[in-house]
Amino acid sequence: MPLGCEIVPFIDAVRLALAQLRVQKLKSFFTLLGVTIGVMFLIAVVSIVEGMSSYMEHDFVGKLVGVNTVTLRTRPEIGGDVSESQWREMQRWPRILISDVEPVISALPAGTMWSAEGYDNVPMSSQWSRPQSLQASAVEGDYFKIREMNVASGRLLSVQEMALGSTVVVIGEEIAERFFPRLNPLGRSLKVGGLPYQVVGVAESQGSIFGFSLDRFVIAPYKSPLRHHVNRPNVIDAVKIKVPGDADMIEVQESIRQTMRGRHGLRPSQPDNFAIETSESALSFWTSIKSKLVLAGVVLPAIGLVVGAIVIMNIMLVAVAERTREIGIRKALGARRRDIMSQFLVEAATLSTVGAAIGIAIGIFLSQLIAAVSPLPATIAPWSIVAGVIVGAGVGIVAGIYPASRASKLDPILALRSD
């Protein structure tokens, strides 16, 4: 270490800190542990939140909600916290009827597509598999166009089959594998609600969302007998409406709202007793969850960083005590208070930054591991790496202020007399 210089070069202080890491490995491990854990959690949590945000904005909304799409339901399926009293009130809301569809659609712009849907778990079976209760949907209208669904084999339901209520179904890939293992399901019979339906198409794989398969479905015409298994007569669970791209979504929602309020006979002072959901509803719901995850992403690293700062401060105090004579020599050779203080601050920041670098590496590995073994997506955000380095260095500087100040205030005569 170059003693006697008026100002200790920054690089020498960094080298001294790194040398201490190599010489005192066990002590260095405990010194860096808190910062490493804190930054590791920061990287991992930010990666998961970023990954889920990207997934929600680009995949979830597109697959489940759809762009320029409004869904009318009896009760909301996408929403924030609902109190027990609100939930009890929703249970009393009137159901959406198939007869509500035409008045709602007639007030919307030309080119609007719509589909009505009733769905529920229904017992299914085939001669190649045991019976299981899985979700089946009875649909009407432009269901496949709105869902942008294509078939991997066979075909979709025809207009005639829809109009006649034929006992035919389009199934998802998972249903095909469950009920027709190693077989071509096209033309074969699948019992749905105890009645045989002919499989006419297998849809292209939709993938999954957070581990939940989107290929576990059976779709039959609304007028087929299936509708009696999923709802009471003429009751539907949802009306999905896709408007032309240049339509004003706010005006569309207001039109639907006013039509439904009129059909439910609501007075101006009464709140809506139905739900209108859009992609903005889904994103708003995600935003409320995201804020809680971000809070957790701040609290968890903060605990580790506070612990790390305390450990670094104690280690630096020990270093000041061990190097009192060295400090005395430097002061006797002309070093000023700020030189001593800078030296110890740089050492503390270097130690902390090394801990942060290790935490960043572990955090990236942990994020990739979580993405690989769980349904949670993870995307490494470059800014989180920069933030990890800045936070790591900042913790070292804050933790090193007191030890550095104490070292800089040592009396050179007393310091030289120390052992």
pLDDT tens, 303-315? 878 888 888 888 8
- Given this model, what pLDDT does residue 221 score? 96
- Given this model, what pLDDT does residue 93 score? 93
pLDDT digits (tens, 9 = 90+) for 72-111: 999 887 655 677 888 888 888 999 999 999 999 998 888 8
Which residue carries 């380095």 as its tokens?
Answer: 389
- What value does the mean pLDDT take over residues 193-213? 86
State yes or no: pLDDT of 31 exceeds 80.
no
Q: Which of 156-170, 290-304, 307-321, 330-344 has the largest mean confidence? A: 156-170
**Structure tokens given for 352:** 């902390």
Higher per-residue pLDDT: 418 or 411: 411
| Amino acid making up residue 198 | Q
Higher per-residue pLDDT: 94 or 334: 94
- Given this model, what pLDDT does residue 168 score? 97
- What value does the mean pLDDT take over residues 55-68? 68
Higher per-residue pLDDT: 113 or 415: 113
**Among candidates 263, 274, 264, 278, which has minimal Cα distance to 103?**
263
- What value does the mean pLDDT take over residues 391-409? 89
- What value does the mean pLDDT take over residues 66-72? 82
- The share of the chain scoring above pLDDT 90, in percent, equals 35
* pLDDT band, residue 220 (cuts 50/70/90): very high
State yes or no: pLDDT of 49 exceeds 90.
no
- Given this model, what pLDDT does residue 158 score? 94
- What value does the mean pLDDT take over residues 343-367? 88
Predicted model pTM: 0.66
- Given this model, what pLDDT does residue 148 score? 85
State yes or no: pLDDT of 61 exceeds 90.
no
Kindly report which listed range (304-313, 345-354, 369-378) carries the lowest average pLDDT score: 369-378
- Given this model, what pLDDT does residue 5 score? 46
pLDDT digits (tens, 9 = 90+) for 101-139: 999 999 888 888 999 999 999 999 999 988 999 999 999
- Given this model, what pLDDT does residue 4 score? 43
- The share of the chain scoring above pLDDT 70, in percent, equals 90
CB of 329 closer than 8 Å to CB of 62? no
- What value does the mean pLDDT take over residues 161-186? 94
- What value does the mean pLDDT take over residues 166-184? 94
- What value does the mean pLDDT take over residues 244-266? 89
